[in-house]
Chains A and B, each alone.
Chain A
Amino acid sequence: MKKKVLSMAICTAMVAGMLAACGGGSSQGAAAPAATDSGAAAPAATANAGSGRVYVLNQKPESADAWTAIAKTYTEQTGVPVEVKTAAAGTYATELQSEMAKSEAPTIFNVGNTSSAQTWNDYTYDLKDSSIYEHLSDKSLCIEYDGKIASVANCYECYGIIYNKTIVEDYCTMDGAVISSPDDIKDLDTLIKVAEDINSKVDAINEEFGYELTGAFASAGLDDGSSWRFSGHLANMPLYYEFLDDGVDPILAGEAEIDGTYLDNYKKVWDLYVSTSSADPKTLNSGALNAESELGMEEAVFYQNGDWEFAPLTNPENGYLVTADDLSMLPIYFGVDDANEGLCVGTESMWAVNAKASQEDIDASLAFLDWMITSDEGRKCMTEDMGLSCPFDTFTGDFASKNPFGAEATELMNEGKTSVAWAFNATPNVDDWRAGVVAALTAYTDGTGDWEAVKTAFVDGWAEQWKLAEEAAAE
């Protein structure tokens, strides 16, 4: 009898568990429309918003808290429910793919380059008539694909060669210095001369000024955590100038085949990075190098990277020796049009709206984005809490960029220099193409391969990946 009771109890427990699980599922399904209903009821009172909901799939883990806070503020003001989910670093593609398959899919997501615009072509809503596109001050900061505006930049970033101005100034006071002030570095040849000279006088500079220099340039790591600086950002230079020559418009659209016209310049710059750094060229892919800390600890003078490095370099928690006053940024002089070249300005952080969402949700999302760039709360959140430089004409006065590197970009633009667009946003099958270039570049640098292989990976690899991507898109 006891056994029977026990077995009955176990059975009941199992069945109850099952029912609870199923019930949980169905009640969730039932709760969702209910939530939309209540969402609809509230705006009816405030009258200005529709009945939709907003779901942002955020790409930047560092701004997760800011997004959650601003979503709450918006819901309080308008009654429109705003859900925010942030993907963990490096998992955006996987996260987006699984979230998009759900019935409650993201309504706002990130489409940062042509590859991604192609993957999500069926999902990107044409933003041509949207307020965010209208307010976009530089119309090149968006992805145009398949005849529509697939995504619009929500910030702009700039990159170039970050350098320690104080060290260069100290160097200029030495006998035999090849320049008399940092402002004299105005082209690639001068940069090479300066870097080589500093590199050969490291001990003398350390002795005289008390630095810990090991080389002129910070290490050019070819591990997965750093190689994008060269296969992406540096590779942008030959791509940009070639697209410019070929009259590609808009530049971010790219072209199916490239000739690699400026790859010799690419080699020249790459050789400079490697030969004037203290890192062993044979072990650049070890992953043990930390270029940021080399610049921060005054072990190196030059470091190719972007304005997002300003915060970590000056954050007291990191314990770096450099201060905000030491830091400045040079364009990546490329020996093509150095006199007119500015910093590389662009972004991969761009808003797209889910075209497969219901019309109410699309309207609600567009209204939310409009609010983000026009209201005081939204603008403050973007510039102060997220620390972004925003490319909209609504960001003036208090809301203008506070990033000193960003200010540098503006200053260069004011001097009449042309900002270099992020032509690499056009890269077909980004990961595959870059992997090929990095492998060849690694072999060339450690002496097991030659430069021809880099050219092949760059030029032929591009054409091949372009063809594959086109073929996949045509299906």
Chain B
Amino acid sequence: MEKAIKRYWPVFVLPTMAAFIIGFIAPFIYGIFLSFCKFTTVVDWKWVGIKNYTRIFFVNGKLDTTFIHSLWYTALFTVVTVLIINVVAFAIAMALTKGIKGTNFFRTSFFLPNLIGGIVLSYIWLMIFNSVLANYSKTIVSTQWYAFWGLVIVVCWQQIGYMMIIYIAGIQNIPGDMIEAAKIDGANNWQMLRDVIIPSLMPTITICTFLTLTNGFKLFDQNLALTGGNPGKMSQLLALNIYDTMYGTTGWQGVGQAKAVIFFILVAIISVIQNKLTTSKEVQA
């Protein structure tokens, strides 16, 4: 068998490799190239150098803060959602592994929001938010902070259930004898959580923080449907800001592409750091 794999490995690797190159590597490199061009369609380009990159920050000779604003707005959004989603999902997972009555029912209910698409979900929440806020003569896009917390609520509501499932799987994988041993040694609940459960859950935590972190940075659907970037462009997260530049500003497709490249580098760096940090804390049971 091993011999066969050694002999036939290209046959196994090639299809996936080819698909990966065609579907990802090639467009990605082409995308970087296009960020240095002015283009109308992707096959109709003209080299303009780094002009697209300077235009992200300087418009008509003045500093333009739209992109920078959406950058820190997105960063803040990601930090807040990563914290809330992981803490709450973990707490629910802990509660639902204690064997209380109706566990399966609760697990299903918490997971359900994740099955609804982002756009639909946001339109439903939009109605809920606005009918509540109407009592105070406000709307979800009255200020950028209403929009911010609206987005946080929607995204948390949607993703907590999903992360909960991953945490439950992780918790159930902790060997029962280890918990028992800790109990016999006289560990109280807090010590049990801090010194036994969380360290053995580190691989799960790595996955969940990675997922929520990248989801936060990449968020688009909910942003588009819930706030549409209003008021002004104050509630635009990065992805929507890029989209808006690409299709909203005449002749600026290249600038949108340049923003997308910066966006990629940023998300890549942050997720690599996050992965390193959490993986280094993983322990062998």
Contacts and interface: CB of A to CB of B under 8 A. Distances in A.
A283 B252 contact: no
Interface in B211-234: 228-233
Contact of A123 (B8, B14, B40): B40
B12 A11 contact: yes
A370 B232 CA distance: 44
Given A101-B44, A288-B127, A439-B231, A11 B1 contact: no
Interface residues of A, number: 46
Contacts of A4: 4
Contact of B44 (A122, A439, A472): A122
B141 interface: yes
13 contacts: A18-B14, A18-B15, A280-B134, A280-B137, A286-B133, A286-B134, A287-B126, A432-B249, A443-B231, A468-B59, A472-B249, A472-B250, A475-B48
Nearest to A123: B40
B248 interface: yes
A429 B248 contact: yes
B251 A472 contact: yes
A119 B232 contact: no
Nearest to B229: A435
Contact of B250 (A7, A97, A118, A442): A118
A15 interface: yes
B42 interface: yes
Contact of A93 (B8, B137, B247): B247
A469 B248 CA distance: 11
Main SS of chain B's interface residues? loop
Bin chain B's interface residue count: 35 or more
Contact of A11 (B11, B126, B137, B249): B11
Contacts of B230: 223-224, 285, 439, 442
Nearest to A457: B232
Given A7-B4, A93-B247, A118-B251, A283 B138 contact: yes
B231 A442 contact: yes
A124 to B, nearest CB: 11
B249 A14 contact: no
A288 B130 contact: yes
Interface string A216-247: 00000001100000000000000000000000
A326 interface: no
Interface in A1-46: 3-4, 7, 11, 14-15, 17-18
Contacts of B248: 429, 431-432, 435
A107 interface: no
B137 A464 contact: no
Nearest to A227: B230
A426 B38 CA distance: 23
B251 A18 contact: no
B41 A475 contact: no
Nearest to B139: A286
Contacts of B38: 472, 475
B8 A7 contact: yes
Nearest to B251: A472
Interface in B1-50: 1, 4, 8, 11-12, 14-15, 18, 38, 40-44, 46, 48
